Structure 1
Amino acid sequence: MKIFFPIGSFYPAQIGGPDNTMYWQAKALFKRGHEICVATTDDGIGNTLPTDTWLDTDYGRVIYVKTAIHYAPVKLLLASLKPLWRCDIVHLSVMYFPISWLLAPLAILLGKKIVWTPHGELDPDAMIYSKGRKQVVLRLIRLMRKWVVFNSTCDAETGYLRDHFGPDVRVVQLPCFMELPPKLDHIAGNYWLFVGRIHPKKAVERLIEALPLVRTKKRLKIIGDHHNEYGDQLIALATRLGVIDQIDFLGHKRGSDKYQLMADAYCLIMPSHTENFGIVVIEALSQGTPAIASFGTPWQILSDRQAGFWSSNEVGPLAETLNQMADLDEKTYETYRSNAATLVEEFDIEKSIYKWEAVYRQLLDQQVPVGI
């Protein structure tokens, strides 16, 4: 199959989750012998790769187009025309970046099969920003909906797609898969860990407010760039509650530094108001570290498999969940770590890429894809 991935930013950029998830998907498909093309901007890659030229990589043929204004990707559009003409399937990412809604009608005219992954952009918390502009784009997409198969990562996102595009819209629901990092040696650090963007959506203040209510006074380590207004508010809150000396704001971490902190943590906590997935949970599980994720995330499986807890992110219930986790006896806790390492295998892209192959093949065979 010939599959084309046009996207606003892409690995090695680390601007957002799709930079990695779509890279892992393209790489796994290429490894399976499919013809993969990726067209993207040079945002976030620095001087690591040549721009404006097609590169042969272990994730297909890729071009990083030098782009002065991210939301005016004229050169990227031009670079996308030839791979769009040649491909069997175009897999679009996010809803509002112009390359997606500009290429979609061209793909329809050319008779191409279209898969479109919102990557959380229909989440109500995301919809409150630039609402007018987004509604215009969504109206355009509604006109094309019958030619598109949308990809959601969870029940909530499937619901958002049907709310916006109608109850009969075609949706294939598959979680994010990732290339699992090497499992590092675990040196028990006995601390809670938060990893993510420091943004109000992540509800980090709920976690800080819960700390005084937790009987076991473990440290809280926070990974993420906290040098913003919300980060300042978190520091002020921790100071006011008298727990600032219990918290380490570590800033941005990546690679082995991040994974070692995950490996050594007692538990990862993702208290977000909403998440369409939450790749950091998989990263923690890959290190055998249990996780606590809020009801606003699609991680009930943590409780079902005893690899962590699915919890309310209200302060009182969250504190009680932390107490439950902290009160596990040593044998039970080790069982949770073992269960975490087992569960993460289900999200290994190498073992799960056949699910995407099945979706693409059924599209080409004019069938309704699996998972709808």
Structure 2
Amino acid sequence: MTLIHELLNNFRLDKRESAVSALIGIILVLFLMVLLTGIISAVLMGFLSGMSFKSAYIVVDAQYSTQNGYPSITLMHLQGDPGYLSEANTGGSGYPLTIRIETVDGSSVVVPLPPGQIWKPGTLLFITHSDTGYVVTADRTQIPGSRLNFPGNEIRISVIDALNQVLVYSKTFIINGTPVNTSQNNTTPEFLRGAGYSVSAWIRFTSPPSPTSPDQKWATVVVDGDRDSNRRFHLQHSSDNSRFEFAFRTAQMAAGGRSASYIQSPSGPVQDQWFHVVGVYNQTSGAIRLFVNGAEVASRILDSSGIAASPGLYQTGGPDGIRFNSAINQRKLRGEIRGISTIDEEMFPAEIRSIYNTG
């Protein structure tokens, strides 16, 4: 009997020890999980705190002019990322941007009208001063309150990436005399425009334009699309890059399943020379026209239905090429492209010549 009691006691002890061991094991596992979670969190926080988020890339130009005797500043989005203007810096598409103006009265945030105003390549914004403050809008006819002059004779405009608090662009205007009497250096005449569309850029080949491989044919400047069947505009060159080419697709053509029609210049680029190339569409007459260095070189009648809807595939060309017909790095332009502009209006010849002559 004594032997049996000892065996039973040992069995109960083994069970208690096993239970204790299991409990200790669970505690150790939980401890290791908590420790590992802390280590991972610390590593991630350290990694994220060291990250630098991409800042907005926007090429901007600003000009001072007058309208009905009162000054305004025109901001031109030449190329780069789309952005939106909002005092709260929320709710838009693209990068949140803030515009500040500095005068003798101090620094002020320019209020967007409407809030969340979208600013994309090829569009203009206008900064004005009224008794309600400084306003930036795409429509100068909708300025609240009574128009006022800018105070003092020095104005500084700054465009800021509000997400990263990075200065994107700034320009200071020195105005001789009163604000409405601007110097020749910062006065730009205002040109009339018509209903339609315009695409323009400065182009220079730094290598011989003639292709040395298939991926250099049709060297592209800018296109909205990634194949012949969906592009709505395309500023490029002919297949052997011996001519400038402008392709355009109207809403009527798109509805009928037709691809863009194009026109070409009689001559083309020369290595190491800059060329200013502009393609325009006149919605009233339905004509597309091509200008090279300020002179019209080709035209064609399409229809007056307006530009086709965007496929959302805006691409700019260059040495790396674009994606076209399901292939990457196509239609390479071995050179430089500057001042790409797309405008939801038709630029008239006087403005095109002025841009070319100004350089």
Category of TM-score, reference length = shorter chain: under 0.3
Q: Taking structure 1 as the reference length, what is the TM-score of the superposition?
A: 0.24
Higher strand fraction (1 or 2): 2
Q: Taking structure 2 as the reference length, what is the TM-score of the superposition?
A: 0.25
Higher helix fraction (1 or 2): 1
